[in-house]
Amino acid sequence: MGKLYNIAFKGEVAEGFSVGDVRANFSERFSKPDDVIDQLFSGTAITLARNLQWEQANTAASNLQSLGALVYVLDEQGKVVEIPERRTANDSVGTDSGSAENPGTSTPDQNDNTNPYDLTATAKVRHLTRISDKRVIEAAPETDVRKTRLRYRFDTFMAKGGGSIFLAVTAVFVATFILIGVFTGAFMAQDLYSSAAYKVLAVLAGIAGIVMLSALIAFITTALNQRIVGLKRSRSKVIEDGHTLILGWNEQRIIETLRQLVIANEKEKDACVVVLADKDKQDMDDVLSLRLNDTAKSRIVTRSGDVTTLTDLDMVSLGSCGSVIILASCDDTDSAERKAASDAKAIQTVLATMGNENESDDFGVVVEIFNATHREIVRSSFPDHVITVNTSDILANLMVQASRSIGLSVVYNEILSFDGCQMYFCDAEWGDSTFGEIAYRFPDGVPMGIRNADGTIFMNPSSDQAMAPTDEVLILAEHDSTIEFMDEPVAAPAGHSLSGIRQERRVERELMIGWTVKSPAIIRKFADYIIDGSQIQVLLKSPTDQQVAEISAMNEALDSVEVGLIQKDCLSIEDLLSVKPFEYDNIIILAGTDSGETGVDAARVDAENIVALLLLHRIFSQYPTESGNTKLITEILHSQNDALVARAGTHDVIFS
């Protein structure tokens, strides 16, 4: 008996054949179930027949190759034997741990020697080994490819939006309606003569039509609701020119800012203010409608987006706006971490804003930044267009100056707000006039200073300072439309002599109720006005360790002024009486908390300040003589509480 050979198959196909074709040929030729065919094309070596004579092995291999299969004839040592007309072959095929005489691991069928095409033995085969050489990737059947392509096209069509869904539902509804007409004779009426099967089919067709019509109605309703929600969350481009753009959201700041802008735009025909913030548009509109009752002639447009993104800035027409206001994202009472994050966001917004070309030469940006170093960096980087402000420093100066002169807060409110007179820059043909002469040539307006061509501003210059042709006058007027420079004086000055009596400076006692981030600045400003030996007392109910340390540090830093801490409750009349408030020259009530908490509740703070004012007013009424020279200065957060504070008996009010 000669050598015996085995036939192995690894699921590979010959050139010119696809895996799908060979699978179909195997299934048709050998009539095997799909699980057997799948095992043959699993990619691992499987023995199809074993212990064949050379002629049998050669014939069987040739027949299998004619089906498109790439098979291997192995000798008793597991080596590949060349077969005539074979297209390709590997040097060897991995086998399992069996011996060379039995390269396969499957048990051969008894009929293997007589019928090499019998694949019943494949039900018992095991994988010989994992191969690492290049394999032919099985292609999906043509029917699967068509299904995948159709599914992809359908998904793409439906992903286009509501219009595609509407067309799809409408098409199904029309098709169902046609089927109803076909099966029911184009109408549904009483049917006494049709068969039961026909009636059942007609009823099912009618139900299908009702279901599809309901789906169509539901889709239309949902689409309309989504459209309405989309309109409320409008992302359309703002088509405005010369509008005021507010970037960022701080509820307290933005309400007061919008109130002033509404007043400023009262004489404008069609003024617009656009707000862009990283906040839901509907939420912004709800807050504005609740807290901003009357917008007069101003239109307020809100958009939701990222204030540092050029795309969103273009959405609100940054290039055509007249001015930009960048709000801080937190209050000055918040933690240092939140204020640092607010400064970082504000600087990013400035960079994004200045990186966009603006059509106006007078384009200006006002940004609120807490850190002094950050303010200087931004100011020096964009000196011509960006103005940085810190409300804490400004308010500290205003409160101290208001305490030095009763009624000064009214003057500041008139000048700094748009309710009344405002400050404008005016240029005209000055001729040979001096600053003192032009002061009487404005029917409505009071010159306050001069701005040179290089941007330098001189407040209250000398009356004999000559006006240059390029100079602009800083003037206080009711409106810019009422400013008119006359050729001749509209009034003649009258001479008045001063009394020559000057008030002598004396040792003072100041009482500051509450503690905020402005407190150190207020104390330092007071120290500049009062003489040596004066006292500044801070009244707190429950001071924190940090507040105690800050007060102690201020006392050590100011040699000429004594800074002390009084631990009392300003909402208790007994505690207030114990400190004898009528013996102080000035009492400043700050809008802050004793505990140093962040995120101050403005309504609660204003309410507590009003209660403290009422208690102090009651004490002063009991000691009218002693309290005759005591001045009350109050800081409030909501401007609508102005009337309440005035009734409480304060001398000056500062809005924070």
DSSP output for 182-236: HHHTTS----SSS-HHHHHHHHHHHHHHHHHHHHHHHHHHHHHHHHHHHHHT--P
Domain 244-258+267-389 sits in CATH 3.40.50.720: yes
Question: Does 52 have pLDDT greater than 70?
Answer: yes
- Are β-strands 446-451 and 472-477 bridged in parallel, bridged antiparallel, or unpaired? antiparallel
Cα gap 436→234, rounded to integer Å? 54
Q: What is the predicted pLDDT for the residue at 147?
A: 76
Summarize the confidence of residues 450-468 as an average pLDDT. Answer: 88
Q: Which letter does DSSP use for residue 310 in this model?
A: H
Fold for the domain defined by 509-655? Rossmann fold (3.40.50)
Q: What is the predicted pLDDT for the residue at 605?
A: 82
Q: Where is pLDDT greater, at 137 or 544?
A: 544
Phi-psi region of 647 (alpha: psi -120 to 50; beta: other; left: phi over 0): alpha
Lowest mean pLDDT among 30-34, 89-93, 261-265, 598-602: 89-93
As a whole-number percent, the residues of the chain with pLDDT over 90 amount to 13
Same CATH topology for 244-258+267-389 and 509-655? Answer: yes
Q: What is the predicted pLDDT for the residue at 600?
A: 63
Q: What is the predicted pLDDT for the residue at 191?
A: 57
Cα gap 177→210, rounded to integer Å? 10
Instruction: Compute the mean pLDDT over every residue in the chain, rounded to the nearest whole number.
Output: 78
Q: Where is pLDDT greater, at 40 or 191?
A: 40
Domain ranges of the chain: 5-139, 143-232, 244-258+267-389, 409-482, 509-655
Dihedral sign (CA 603, 606, 608, 614): negative
Q: What is the predicted pLDDT for the residue at 248?
A: 92
Q: Where is pLDDT greater, at 637 or 466?
A: 466
- The CATH number of 409-482, from 1.10.3470, 2.60.40, 1.10.287, 3.30.70, is 3.30.70
Segment 171-209, tens digit of pLDDT: 777 776 676 666 555 444 555 666 777 777 777 777 777
- Are β-strands 561-567 and 586-589 bridged in parallel, bridged antiparallel, or unpaired? unpaired
Q: Which residues of 167-184 are buried (b: 16+ CB within 10 A; e: fewer)?
A: eebeeebeebeeebeebb
Q: What is the predicted pLDDT for the residue at 391?
A: 81
The phi, psi pair for 580, rounded to 5°, reads 50, 70
Segment 468-489, tens digit of pLDDT: 888 999 998 887 788 888 888 8
Q: What is the predicted pLDDT for the residue at 171?
A: 77
Segment 345-384, tens digit of pLDDT: 999 999 988 877 665 666 789 999 988 899 899 988 888 8
| CA end-to-end distance (rounded Å), the chain | 111
Q: What is the predicted pLDDT for the residue at 599?
A: 57
Segment 252-311, tens digit of pLDDT: 889 888 988 888 888 788 889 999 999 888 889 889 888 887 888 888 989 988 999 888
Q: Of 37-41, 114-118, 611-615, give the range with the top mean pLDDT.
A: 611-615
Segment 387-441, tens digit of pLDDT: 998 888 888 888 888 777 777 777 877 777 777 778 888 888 888 889 988 888 8
Q: What is the predicted pLDDT for the residue at 136?
A: 41
Question: Does 510 have pLDDT greater than 70?
Answer: yes
Q: What is the predicted pLDDT for the residue at 549?
A: 92
Joined together, the tokens standing for residue 606 give 């204003």
Question: Does 93 have pLDDT greater than 90?
Answer: no
Segment 308-327, tens digit of pLDDT: 988 889 888 888 898 999 99
3-state percent breakdown (helix, strand, coil) of the chain, nearest 5: 40, 15, 40
> For residue 364, what are the β-bridge partners?
323
Lowest mean pLDDT among 49-53, 427-431, 452-456, 494-498: 494-498
Q: Which letter does DSSP use for residue 474 in this model?
A: E
The phi, psi pair for 351, rounded to 5°, reads -60, -45
Joined together, the tokens standing for residue 187 give 């109408």
Q: What is the predicted pLDDT for the residue at 87?
A: 43
Question: Does 503 have pLDDT greater than 90?
Answer: no
Q: Are 633 and 613 in contact (CB under 8 A)?
A: no
Confidence of residue 158 (pLDDT cuts 50, 70, 90): low
Segment 591-610, tens digit of pLDDT: 876 555 555 677 788 888 88
DSSP output for 178-194: HHHHHHHTTS----SSS
CA 614 to chain centre: 43
Q: What is the predicted pLDDT for the residue at 112?
A: 41
Q: What is the predicted pLDDT for the residue at 186?
A: 45
Cα gap 234→302, rounded to integer Å? 9
The phi, psi pair for 360, rounded to 5°, reads -95, 135
Q: Which of 49, 64, 40 is nearest to 114 (CA)?
A: 49
Q: Which letter does DSSP use for residue 279 in this model?
A: S
Query: Which parts of 402-501 are beta strand (E)?
Result: 422-426, 446-451, 457-459, 472-477
Query: Which parts of 480-531 are beta strand (E)?
Result: 509-513
Q: Where is pLDDT greater, at 132 or 165?
A: 165
> What strands lie across the sheet with 472-477, from one edge to the other?
422-426, 472-477, 446-451, 457-459
DSSP output for 87-107: ----SB----SS-TT----SP
Confidence of residue 150 (pLDDT cuts 50, 70, 90): confident
Confidence of residue 116 (pLDDT cuts 50, 70, 90): very low
- Are β-strands 323-326 and 5-13 bridged in parallel, bridged antiparallel, or unpaired? unpaired
